[in-house]
Chain A
């Protein structure tokens, strides 16, 4: 484990040293994410329902669809081979090339051929293998693997690519994308003409007709399927859909989620009776690869990942992927979806090596068009693969630390501010000494509110404070209760445990289950009596609504989930009495930071709308995660803080660029990150509401946020 973690540390440090790459990837991923979100916002809900149902049907009927595909391909006069393993698939294609005397193979982009290591197998028997997708060709010449599943060369600069072309192809080009593209158009045309075999992947295989569907923009997929006399399509068995209606359900959503466009330039459908340039019908082979997929379809934790349509939206939004890229955060398949896919195709041990880069922000679930709960699947992979560190175990005791701090605030505030103790904390607990820590107010919310709230058995609203508002700074909890009461709700605050997010985040699912059981037990009677469970901390709402039902899978956990609200969402939805307040100082220009878990839980922008309703001047920018992700961003150096700081600095730059004076948000840890890197005052949204209702004065000193 020590060897593995030091290797991981050096990989992270190596990635962070490549400043240009980090900056470019950050900007590129952000741009792709924004395009995707813009497209998805236009897409009708019926298409999302359609793609979900079609993909779900595929995963539930894998074996039947494989049989149907075999029948269809044979009926059309083609050859079909089902490969149990990567080795089987590799051997089939390699021996086909050998038996047909193939000297050159052209390929269109295919992650499945990366998975089976096809290029090396063909090269080892003296066959020229030419990637024809521009990005794939560039990384092939560089001797690398793709760093992003739809933008394989996104980590390379135009200068590096021009240099590569000079070294490997002997052409002296200006470092301009147009010139480089023109060169490859000519250079690869010669290969298209000479190749005897074309190998394609497939975005979809349609069982009813036995055809493979390729989605491309460059036209290389069409040329690979048109020019050679032997055509081989290689697809994972999970790519099979039953009918053309199912196929179009995928095709309608895939390009939108990937790049924000309704359609890519080309959809190419190939099969035994394709559209070859040869008068004689070419020889067609479809290789269906299992390699762990059927097994995964029977695994309750992994089966949902098989729905993946490879749009890469989860990579574009992932905070750590944006900084580290697919060569660190990835195996064959990179980024968030790469973790379950590595587990499926290579096993849990390999998957756990990259799972550590997931920070459980859950934005991947938020953007996934087929609703794969990648974060909880990754938590399970961390849990099932074992090998967690002592420091991770310590971080799951965050609540105990907060309870102690609430009892000994002076000591803890001193310890957190002292250089010596911060060095000790870094050495012993793994908390980076550069991380700004929240101060303790002293005391806890339950004591402040008193028995009346703790013992109330029935209420309109049950407030779930989580660790920060219960033990670190109860003023947030108190304001939440006061605001809810001012808006006419009766409020109960039973003593509950922290949400257990650190345990979920680091894969201590047994411990997380225990915490979840206790909290559900405390809350279920309120939910059953029609009470709403309200959280001022978005991560707490995420745990109650999304994580607990998955890890407990009980009727009570589902009932609690259905009753859970974020505080500001509830107020935005139900309170019509809030209006612009005369108490707000004029010209207060606030930036609203949308916490990751809040994006997932509350559609639209309820907090932002609420702030506007009370007369605030609000700006916001969708940059994704601010990069702290709970205790992860507190972790020492390359284990968390250094990556977190890269993200935090970039986010702060965007926020400061709006010219705002302070920041509103609901997450206590986001506040920690934003304060540290922007230098601005950060306040919980409930404070602005409380001020507008005259519950809190603006002059009141805010401890943390």
Chain B
């Protein structure tokens, strides 16, 4: 992953005059249909995940694109809570396993404050965890929130990702009589947790 150094990123953004306004970002995400939380510790993060998983009725947690340390912390915290925790590894896994009754937890590379979007660069495991399961939750550090698309354009030019996904809500359609329905091909529900700590240490 090219963009992970939070301190460097924060310096760059602050240097560019950006206001890291987490609450406004989360408000925009909420308007887009995300569940949102702002946490200060891994324990709190896991607690939010467990609450949401319970609310959505899922018992399978699928981790994708998280650092080894963070994945281990989450797995550890969930041990003994009657959840199955899987990790999308470096080899091809049976994709069907990810699909039903699961919550994908993935690492987003950036958030867009103006539109309430979450960005994934190049990470195929994050991509799968955000797309295939019935529910998905993005993990993001405070310093990774960008003001708008044009800051993202700057980041794209710097890092040259091969693939990008910008997620701004659950999978949805209004194709039948303009009735809004969620969960067409991607997740039925989604969440975003912004952490006030370095997630990858």
Residues on A lying within 8 angstroms of B by beta carbon are 24, 28, 31-32, 76, 132-135, 138, 151-154, 156-158, 161, 177-178, 180-182, 184-185, 188-189, 192-193, 208-209, 211, 217-220, 222-223, 225-227, 243-245, 247-248, 251-252, 262-279
Closest beta carbon of chain B to A260's beta carbon, Å: 12
Please determine whether B157 and A244 come into contact, CB atoms closer than 8 angstroms: yes
> Which residues of B have CB within 8 Å of A272?
162
Contacts A222-B131, A263-B115, A266-B165: A243 and B184 contacting too (C-beta < 8 A)?
A: no
Cβ contact of B122, chosen from A220, A226, A273, A277, cutoff 8 A:
A273
Contact call B92/A278, Cβ cutoff below 8 A: yes
Of B115, B166, B185, which is within 8 A of A218 by CB? B185
Q: Which of A158, A264, A277, A278 interacts with B168 by CB under 8 Å?
A: A264
15 contacts between A and B (CB under 8 A): A28-B178, A134-B173, A156-B176, A177-B176, A177-B177, A185-B185, A188-B185, A219-B171, A219-B187, A243-B153, A245-B150, A248-B150, A252-B115, A252-B149, A274-B162
Which range contains the number of B residues in contact with the other chain? Answer: 35 or more
Q: How far apart are the CA atoms of A275 and B64 in the complex, in Å?
A: 13
Distance between A43 CB and nearest chain B CB, rounded to angstroms: 11
A223 touches B131 (CB 8 A): yes
Distance (Å) between the CB of B30 and the closest chain A CB? 13
**A138 touching B175 by the CB < 8 A rule?**
yes
Tell me the minimal C-beta distance from B114 to chain A in angstroms: 7
Are B127 and A275 within 8 A (Cβ)? Answer: yes
Interface residues of B in 150-190 (CB under 8 A from A): 150, 152-153, 156-157, 160-179, 181, 183-187
A-B contacts counted at CB < 8 A amount to 174
Q: Are A269 and B164 in contact (CB under 8 A)?
A: yes
Contact A217 B163, CB 8 Å, known A134-B176, A180-B176, A185-B185 = no
The answer to whether A32 touches B175, judged by C-beta atoms less than 8 angstroms apart, is no
Within 8 A of A (CB), among B20-69: 28, 32
Chain A residues whose CB sits within 8 angstroms of the CB of B181 once the complex forms: 177-178, 181
Residues of chain B lying within 8 A (CB to CB) of residue A277: 92, 95, 124, 128
Q: A251-B149, A272-B162 are in contact. List 9 more A-B contacts (CB 8 A).
A: A133-B175, A177-B179, A211-B164, A222-B131, A226-B127, A245-B150, A265-B32, A266-B166, A266-B167
Interface centre among B160, B172, B173, B186 (most CB of A within 10 A): B173
| Inter-chain contacts of A209 with B (CB < 8 A) | 156, 160
- From the candidates A76, A138, A217, A226, name the one contacting B131 in the complex (CB within 8 A): A226
Interface residues of B (CB under 8 A from A): 28, 32, 90-92, 95-96, 99, 112, 114-117, 120, 122-124, 127-128, 131, 149-150, 152-153, 156-157, 160-179, 181, 183-187
Which of chain A's residues have a CB closer than 8 A to the CB of B28? 262
- Chain B CB within 10 Å, residue with most, of A177, A180, A211, A266: A266
- Give the residue name and chain of the A residue nearest to B188 (CB): A185
Q: Given A185-B185, A226-B131, A264-B168, A158–B149 Cβ distance below 8 Å?
A: no
A266 and B162 alpha carbons, distance in the complex (Å):
17
B186 touches A181 (CB 8 A): no
Q: How far is the CA of A247 from the CA of B150 in the complex (A)?
A: 10
> Are the C-beta atoms of B176 and A153 separated by less than 8 Å?
yes
Minimum CB–CB distance for B181 against chain A, Å = 5
Q: How far is the CB of A279 from chain B (nearest CB, A)?
A: 6
Of chain B, the residue at the smallest CB distance from A214 is: B165
Distance in Å: Cβ of A511 to nearest Cβ of chain B: 43
**Distance between Cα atoms of A152 and B178 in the complex (Å):** 11
Alpha-carbon gap, A245 to B167, bound state (A): 19
Q: Which 6 A-B pairs have the closest CB atoms?
A: A273-B162, A219-B186, A275-B163, A135-B175, A248-B149, A269-B164
